Amino acid sequence: MDQDLARVARRLMERLDALTAFTDDPPRLTRLFLSPAHRRAAAQYIAWAREAGLEARIDPVGNIRARYEGREAGAKALMIGSHIDTVRDAGRYDGALGALAALAVVETLAARGRRLDVAIEIVAFGDEEGVRFPRTMTGSRALAGVNEPSALEQKDAAGVRMRDALIAFGGAPDRLAAARADGVAAFVELHIEQGPVLEAEGRPLGVVNAINGATRLSAIVYGAAGHAGASPMNLRHDALAAAAEMILAIETRARAEIERDLVATVGRLDVEGGAVNVIPGKVRFSIDVRSPRDEWRRRAVAEMAAAMEAIAARRGVAVELTPTHEAAAYACDLKIIAGFEAAVASLGLEPRVLPSGAGHDTMIMGQRWPAGMLFVRCKGGVSHNPAESISGEDCAIALAALTRFVEDFRAP
């Protein structure tokens, strides 16, 4: 690795540490969209960009954008970036790694005195997580031109409208359409994996081929409450026991498609009443099913629902399923996948292609332009948690691969 790249990689890790100072809830890292911490973090990012000789600005929806011109002014741009908002009590690498790596790529090119056939536009999205307001990925939706003006009327927990928060931040809600990006050739995003696969396989990098689509449902099981001591086992209609069997059926169905990267999770379970001496009569639980292919996910959900109905009938209870969320899978651009594979291979590493189980801004940007992602392994697969961690060595390798991809990129 050349000295310029190694130096920039060290500075990238230092900046990731420095960005943790901008939090709404010290000592925990919580940086919500359009909050005072977001504003301070944006100001710091802009200062770093200007140190690199870039003209950086906040767009109407609160994203930070800057441009490194190509050999010819006005050339199409390869856009690189990620988000700088966080969940509550977050780790320091989710989003911020990709946002700062975009700036680091430009700094590396500048140190080498290189201009490319394409311009490089970097972006630090203000809202990916959707923690403060109900909708996620507000920043990338605006750039891709798919943001709905009605989103501006959404309110946070304190009753503050997004429109008013944007004005206080320095955005321009009445100029939302002006945030739409043009002249973009493609979008790429560097991100921590947020899962354990790369670490388990001893690989620092992964090339993303798809972002999983997701189906979420709310399940309610209706049984019959009764006295825990006075009701014989053969005469019970236990809603919790039925729900437990249903949950195991969901897990079994998902395990049957491990090779297809299909996953299913029950993350919430509520037993109405919840008394130690009462047979549960009503149970609610959530279901989250994800897959890189929509048809696989839909088939799995249908078969899970059928299994649950069969369990309900056999146990003499009823089950009600209500869809609460549906997101289509996104297949990353094949040329970008190939470009990242070549960049990883150029470092003497075997490319590992895998899907993303989590949603990312890439899936929104991909609605308008070719898009793709490069993953960096994270310790224990931990994310959305203060224990989130990557090594400096992996950061340097990721920056080297991203820079190589950018240098080799050709606009379609």
Look up the CATH number of the domain holding residue 196.
3.40.630.10
- Shared-domain flag, residues 56 and 157: yes
CB 109 within 8 A of CB 66: no
pLDDT of residue 1: 64
Which residue among 327, 353, 378 closes a domain?
A: 327
The tens digit of pLDDT for each residue in 256-269 reads 999 999 999 999 99
- Shared-domain flag, residues 187 and 322: no
- Shared-domain flag, residues 207 and 218: no
Angle between helices 392-408 and 96-111 (to 10 degrees): 60
- Shared-domain flag, residues 11 and 141: yes
The tens digit of pLDDT for each residue in 100-122 reads 999 999 999 998 999 999 999 99
Residue 9 CA to residue 18 CA, distance in Å, equals 14
- Shared-domain flag, residues 203 and 269: no
Whether a cis peptide bond, with omega within 30° of 0, leads into 173 is no
pLDDT of residue 4: 76
Which stretches does DSSP call E strand in 328-366?
A: 330-331, 353-356
> Domain with 297 in it: what CATH number?
3.30.70.360
- Shared-domain flag, residues 339 and 314: no
Q: Count structural domains, the chain.
A: 2
Range of the domain at 400: 3-211+329-408
Instruction: Look up tokens 């311009």; give the residue.
Output: 119
- Residue 142 pLDDT > 80: yes
- Shared-domain flag, residues 41 and 99: yes
The tens digit of pLDDT for each residue in 284-342 reads 999 999 999 999 999 999 999 999 999 999 999 999 999 998 989 999 999 999 999 99
The verdict on pTM exceeding 0.85 is: yes
Average pLDDT estimate for 152-174: 95
Which residue among 304, 327, 350 closes a domain?
A: 327
The tens digit of pLDDT for each residue in 209-255 reads 999 999 999 999 999 999 999 999 999 999 999 999 999 999 999 99
pLDDT of residue 155: 96
> Using 50, 70 and 90 to split pLDDT, how confident is the model at 39?
very high
- Shared-domain flag, residues 341 and 241: no
> Using 50, 70 and 90 to split pLDDT, how confident is the model at 168?
very high
Helix, strand, coil share of the chain (percent; to 5): 40, 25, 40
Which residue among 327, 343, 365 closes a domain?
A: 327
> Using 50, 70 and 90 to split pLDDT, how confident is the model at 187?
very high
pLDDT of residue 412: 79
- Side chain identity at residue 274, one-letter code: G
- Shared-domain flag, residues 196 and 90: yes
Average pLDDT estimate for 157-177: 95
- Shared-domain flag, residues 43 and 133: yes
- Shared-domain flag, residues 178 and 261: no
- Shared-domain flag, residues 251 and 172: no
